[in-house]
Amino acid sequence: MLLGTCSCAPWLRTTAVQDCESATSTPRLLEEMRLWLVVIWLFVCAAALPGGEQPLSRIAIENTTLAIDDSVHIKASPLVLGLKGENSEWVEVEFFHPNPSDDDWIGVFSPANFSGAICDPENEWQQPPVLCTAPIKYQFAKFKNDGYNRSGKGNLKLQLINQREDFSFALFSGGLLKPKLIAVSNMVTFANPKAPVYPRLAQGKSWDEMTITWTSGYNIKEAVPFVEWGAKGGPRFLSPAGTLSFNRNSMCGAPARTVGWRHPGYIHTSFLKDLWPDSKYTYRLGHRLPNGTQVWSKIYSFKASPYPGQDSLQQIVIFGDMGKAEADGSNEFNDFQPGSLNTTNQIIRDLKNIDMVLHIGDICYANGYLSQWDQFTSQIEPIASTVPYMIGSGNHERDWPGTGSFYGNLDSGGECGVPAQTVFYTPAENRAKFWYATDYGMFRFCIANTEEDWRPGTEQYKFIEQCLSSVDRQKQPWLIFLAHRVLGYSSCTYYETEGTFEEPMGREALQELWQKYKVDLAFYGHVHNYERTCPVYQSQCVVDASDHYSGPFKATTHVVVGGAGASIADSAFTTSNIQWSHFRDFDFGFVKLTAFNQSSLLFEYKKSHDGNVYDHFTISRDYRDVLACSIDNCPRTTLAS
């Protein structure tokens, strides 16, 4: 498109584009501008790699033309969903087009009156679009309709979740780039669209506190949010909840504040305190209406955190870059569905043997299409409603030019961190900073934010050192560092081309801290594959890689575990022989840590398609081994000297 004309994607319509459009009488200048725009386009595409394209961005909805055709019809049923309190239901969409083509597609819109939406132009050169609201999902009309091109008849089975508004289905011709709206269906709605949905548990700021965050359609003037909870079989308590939301102007750019905008609803968080270690609790979400009526969710349950240092079985799942996918096959792009859904389903199958999940960045890849946050929280509800679901910030949550992000790229789609830090709770001192510590039994987790500066002298560097240095290793012998971008080691070709095999100034800034404070494991996402190093310090294996380590700490083992669901197509490994790289896997998967006690830890890498273990090792040691000297962290003097 850019090579042939001066037309550009709306978010590339800068002053340079205006110059391009007025330069048609100067062929040489026009050609220079075309080349310049290609460079910008390549830069933007590269910034989103690997696997970062949001499938909804493929639809040029703002270019839609209205071509309603009375001979075309589309109908959806049933008309009312969730009559038994369900938050997810399947609908059947039937349609007919007398002049069908391969390019015909069905868009699912919510609210149903999408054609009446009004969006302000993003800049002075953008013309007001006919349609300025992207669908929440889409599918081609020929999907599983082999005879559609001949008969023009088809039907789709699509899954809808409760997203606070009604739905309609639109049939388009002309493909995704030049869509023509030719028919709109009847309206479909949930019986209680404002119901409290998709609870997300998270550890609080103390070990005996659990937070519950959920979404509803009730603002605080309409209903009072709270949680009813208590020990299983014991007395019930009511805990109030705070309410947050954000608006279109909270977004930093397009598409989040244009075609991707959808009201996020109201995000409520309640704090359950003074929990007994390892005790089981049940809870349900409630809203009290002005007339005294109470609206309830279904009943959920969780197990409270163990006491710090408690010597019991503790199991943690860690991964990055999962994203969301649709069970009905819609919105598919870049192979997200087999990865994301398989990872989610494997964790659900093993949920009785999991105590916490750590998702280290690139959460749902909404990339400015706000409806996808609802879709993601629905996908993980069986997990996040049962065990703490702790998140970190990635480039697809935070990065946007001119907003204080360490990287000035476009990966967040204009969200600039606002939805992530609102939809999920983290026990950070400043949730916008997105770095925090959290303890679970024998584990201390230090979660960094690679989208903010981490180098020596910065606020985040001070946090990292404080988090690592303040842990009592007698109580919490297992010290884990986590971040989204690779601050340690990765042999992905993406980093090889930079000549660093890491995020520049990653390990150079932090390796002395990891070594000094004896960090057992460091985990990263961002690169969509799996890789484990030997215990490594200053790019040298201090100990040969093994399936079992015992005795005093020698160096940190670094793990890339960014293959939870986002496309692995652009995350190939270098063919060079890298001495510190021990095990690599180019597939979807996640890691599970099992602390049997204070001296024995099991590490397992599992593939998402079958849940089997493909890499593992154990660490065995006692408290004296944690304190023993290792490279460059022994005292320079002793009392005797």
β-strand pairing of 436-440 with 443-447:
antiparallel
Residue 489: is its pLDDT beyond 80?
yes
Q: In 3-state terms, what secondary structure has residue 41?
A: helix
pLDDT band at 278 (very low <50, low <70, confident <90, very high): very high
Listed in sequence order, the DSSP H helices in 49-181 are 148-151
Q: Which long-range contacts (CB under 8 A, 24 or more apart) does 2-6 make?
A: 2/34, 2/37, 2/38, 2/41, 3/34, 3/38, 6/30, 6/33, 6/34
pLDDT band at 335 (very low <50, low <70, confident <90, very high): low
β-strand pairing of 168-173 with 180-184:
antiparallel
Handedness of CA 33, 36, 42, 43 (dihedral sign): negative
Sheet of strand 168-173, all strands in order from the earlier edge strand to the far edge: 65-66, 180-184, 168-173, 105-109, 137-140
pLDDT of residue 36: 37
pLDDT of residue 121: 66
How many angstroms separate the CA atoms of 332 and 243, rounded?
33
- Note the pLDDT tens digit of each residue in 449-466: 999 999 999 999 999 999
Handedness of CA 191, 269, 234, 305 (dihedral sign): positive
Q: Report which of 559, 504, 547, 492 is spatially closest to residue 358, judged by C-alpha positions.
A: 559
How many angstroms separate the CA atoms of 28 and 35, rounded?
11
Residue 159 near residue 178 (C-beta atoms within 8 A): no
Residue 359: is its pLDDT beyond 60?
yes
Listed in sequence order, the DSSP H helices in 82-216 are 148-151
pLDDT band at 46 (very low <50, low <70, confident <90, very high): very low
Reading phi first (left if > 0) and then psi (alpha if -120 to 50, else beta), residue 537 is in: beta
Which CATH number, 3.90.1690, 3.30.70, 2.60.40, 2.40.30, labels domain 73-190?
2.60.40
Residue 30: is its pLDDT beyond 80?
no
Residue 363 near residue 587 (C-beta atoms within 8 A): no
pLDDT band at 385 (very low <50, low <70, confident <90, very high): very high
- Note the pLDDT tens digit of each residue in 397-452: 999 999 999 998 999 999 999 999 999 999 999 989 999 999 999 999 999 999 99
pLDDT of residue 21: 34
Taking residues 170-192, report their average pLDDT: 96
pLDDT of residue 48: 37
How many angstroms separate the CA atoms of 526 and 409, rounded?
15
Residue 11: is its pLDDT beyond 50?
no
pLDDT band at 528 (very low <50, low <70, confident <90, very high): very high
For residues 537 and 132, the model is more confident at 537
Burial grade of 605 (CB within 10 A; 0-12, 13-18, 19 or more): buried
Residue 541: is its pLDDT beyond 70?
yes
Residue 67 near residue 175 (C-beta atoms within 8 A): no
For residues 549 and 63, the model is more confident at 549
Q: What share of the chain is helix, strand, coil (3-state, %, to 5)?
A: 20, 30, 50
How many angstroms separate the CA atoms of 307 and 206, rounded?
10
pTM of the model: 0.90
List the Cα angle 238/244/248 in 5-degree steps. 155
Domain 311-627 has CATH 3.60.21.10: yes
Bridge partners (DSSP) listed for residue 189: 80
Residue 389 near residue 201 (C-beta atoms within 8 A): yes
What per-residue string of b and e applies to 255-293 under the rule 16 or more CB within 10 Å gives b? bbbbbbbbbbbbbbbbbbeebeeeeebbbbbbbeeeeee
Q: In 3-state terms, what secondary structure has residue 56?
A: helix
Q: Report which of 44, 151, 101, 134 is spatially closest to residue 401, judged by C-alpha positions.
A: 44
Average of per-residue pLDDT values in the chain? 89
**Residue 462 has which token pair?**
């001070």
Q: How many residues does the chain have?
A: 641
pLDDT band at 626 (very low <50, low <70, confident <90, very high): confident
Q: Report which of 509, 511, 505 is spatially closest to residue 537, judged by C-alpha positions.
A: 511
Residue 47: is its pLDDT beyond 80?
no
How many angstroms separate the CA atoms of 141 and 97, rounded?
10
**Residue 303 has which token pair?**
């197990």
pLDDT of residue 568: 87
For residues 567 and 484, the model is more confident at 484
Residue 386: is its pLDDT beyond 70?
yes
pLDDT band at 129 (very low <50, low <70, confident <90, very high): low
Taking residues 601-630, report their average pLDDT: 92
Tell me the domain boundaries of the chain: 73-190, 311-627
Residue 637: is its pLDDT beyond 80?
no
Least confident of 60-69, 120-129, 473-482, 597-606: 120-129
Residue 577: is its pLDDT beyond 60?
yes
Task: Tell me if domain 73-190 and domain 311-627 are identical in fold.
Answer: no
**Amino acid at residue number 431:** R
Listed in sequence order, the DSSP H helices in 367-472 are 371-379, 381-384, 395-398, 418-423, 459-469
